[in-house]
């Protein structure tokens, strides 16, 4: 466990790789670099929020597990999912900001999974195209927005309710 509690900021203007070797990151993390690219080389786990401000976070090679994910800066940024699992585990959820400057790429079989998330707005999808979204447990409002999705899977919804708002489009 990397128990640094301050904000860890990755800044770059070129391609970089991230290898955690099983270390869990506990403090907030941000990616911020014009033309910077950060690619996870192995399983990536953070028990805090990860924020993509500028650049590309490429999660396409390995499973990524975060407490929350925010990408709403308005600057040029890419969230590359490939064909992997991206899991969100807290009420921070995943907030994808306005389409201004944002790109989401998938490989056709990626999955965004919300595990036991409670609270408001765990997923603000905006108008991007995603593969699968799974909601497992919790009591929350799932804001799908204008997003395009292949599948939405709801498993073990818990004792609460799952409310879909917005006008999502499902391909299957």
pLDDT tens readout for residues 30-86: 999 999 999 999 999 999 999 999 999 999 999 999 998 888 888 999 999 999 999
Contacts of 43 by beta carbon, 8 Å cutoff, 6+ apart? 20, 22, 62, 63, 64, 65
The helix/strand/coil state of 37 is strand
Secondary structure of residue 131 in the 3-state scheme: coil
Nearest C-alpha neighbor of 3 from the set 21, 22, 26: 26
Average pLDDT of span 133-162: 73
- Cite the DSSP H helix spans in the chain: none
Q: State the pLDDT confidence band at 122, using cuts at 50, 70 and 90.
A: low
C-alpha distances in Å from residue 32, one per residue of 23, 64, 125: 22, 18, 21
What length does the chain have? 172
pLDDT for the residue numbered 12: 95
pLDDT (average), residues 101-121: 81
Candidates 104, 94, 32; CA nearest to 66 is 94
> Could you tell me which residue, 171 or 61, shows the higher pLDDT?
61
Confidence of residue 4 (pLDDT cuts 50, 70, 90): confident
Give the span between the Cα atoms of 86 and 130, in whole angstroms: 12
């Amino acid at each position: 466990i990397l128990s640094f509690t301050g904000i860890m900021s990755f800044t770059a203007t070129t391609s970089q790789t991230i290898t955690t070797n099983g270390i869990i990151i506990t403090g907030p993390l941000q990616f911020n670099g014009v033309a910077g690219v950060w690619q996870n080389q192995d399983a990536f786990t953070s028990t805090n929020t990860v924020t993509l401000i500028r650049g590309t976070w490429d999660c396409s090679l390995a499973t990524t597990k975060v407490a929350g994910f925010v990408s709403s800066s308005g600057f040029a940024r890419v969230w590359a999912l490939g064909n992997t699992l991206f899991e969100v585990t807290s009420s921070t959820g995943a907030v994808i900001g306005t389409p201004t400057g944002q790109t989401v790429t998938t490989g056709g079989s990626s999955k965004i999974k919300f595990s036991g998330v409670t609270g408001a707005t765990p997923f603000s999808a905006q108008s991007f195209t995603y593969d699968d979204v799974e909601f497992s447990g919790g009591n929350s409002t799932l804001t799908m927005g204008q997003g395009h999705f292949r599948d939405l899977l709801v498993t073990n919804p818990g004792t609460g309710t799952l409310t879909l708002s917005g006008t999502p489009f499902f391909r299957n």
